Amino acid sequence: MRNLSVVTEFILLGIPHTEDLETMLFVLFLCFYIFTLIGNLLILLAIISSTRLHTPMYFFLCQLSVCDIFFPSVSSPKMLFYLSGNSRVISYAGCVSQLFFYHFLGCTECFLYTVMAYDRFVAICYPLRYTVIMSHRVCAILAMGTSFFGCIQATFLTTLTFQLPYCGANEVDYFFCDIPVMLKLACADTSALEMVGFISVGLMPLSCFLLILTSYSRIVYSILQIRSAEGRRRAFSTCSAHLTAILLFYMPVVLIYLRPTPSPWLDATVQVLNNLVTPMLNPLIYSLRNKEVKSSLRKVLYHLGFLPEQL
């Protein structure tokens, strides 16, 4: 029997098949990361600074922006660190932290999109009761609930992954610590845990997606009952940004975690899009077609000195 030592650190090998592209990837990912942080911070400032935007919809959009600031920050700093020529080593505790916070923020966003769909459902289907149903107390409970259940899901998945013994190879064939690549390094049978993880990771997004689908089925039915063409256009415009963001969020989840035959290069590419590009696009998606947000953004940029005069 081989005498295998317990693993105390891991080596991140990075994105597969990208050797000799470190400098280009560093510049590209750094730009994505900076634009993500700036875009979401501007959305936060725009909403906080405008009393007109202190409504449930924008309250949840604020929470989404906070998630989109921290979500790429789980893996991007370390990735940029080793792409710039520094060490690829990550401690055992660092690896556990990466996996936990990645799934905590990802699950929180998943629940948050469901809550945002419910908010649009109430606003369009029950407009006269909207302020009563979506009170400050209800909004606070829903916001805390998304983080609470995200934490429970992430704790379960992290415990499931790291209760396994890691005593052999320590090279992670990926750019951060995630469940599929970590299970490959465990020196124990992982078939049962892979099935449990597959069901857990698949069941939660699927449940949320079905709830979102139910909300939007009712929303579409209600919009079609609106007699005014202008009213229908405004209602569809309000929901289109949310639907676009939902599709950008769910497609990578399906491609990475629910495919029967994983492909390391495809998974890494989709994961980068999910970690960096989607959080960068969300501020654009929610502001380009929203006059109130654009107006508030102009005021913020004017006060910060980026616009010479208010338009």
pLDDT of residue 262: 64
The CA-atom distances, in angstroms, between 114 and each of 7, 137, 211, 257, 271 are 39, 18, 7, 20, 22
Sheet with 171-172: strands ordered across: 89-91, 9-12, 171-172
Q: pLDDT by residue (tens digit) across 129-149?
A: 999 999 999 999 999 999 999
Q: What is the pLDDT of residue 310?
A: 52
**Side chain identity, residue 157:** L
> How far is the CA of 63 from the CAs of 47, 48, 123, in angstroms?
11, 12, 19
pLDDT of residue 81: 93
pLDDT the model gives residue 33: 95
The amino acid sitting at 236 is F
Tell me the average pLDDT of the chain. Answer: 86
pLDDT computed for residue 118 by the predictor: 94
Question: Does residue 52 have a pLDDT over 70?
Answer: yes
The reported pTM is 0.89
Confidence of residue 259 (pLDDT cuts 50, 70, 90): low
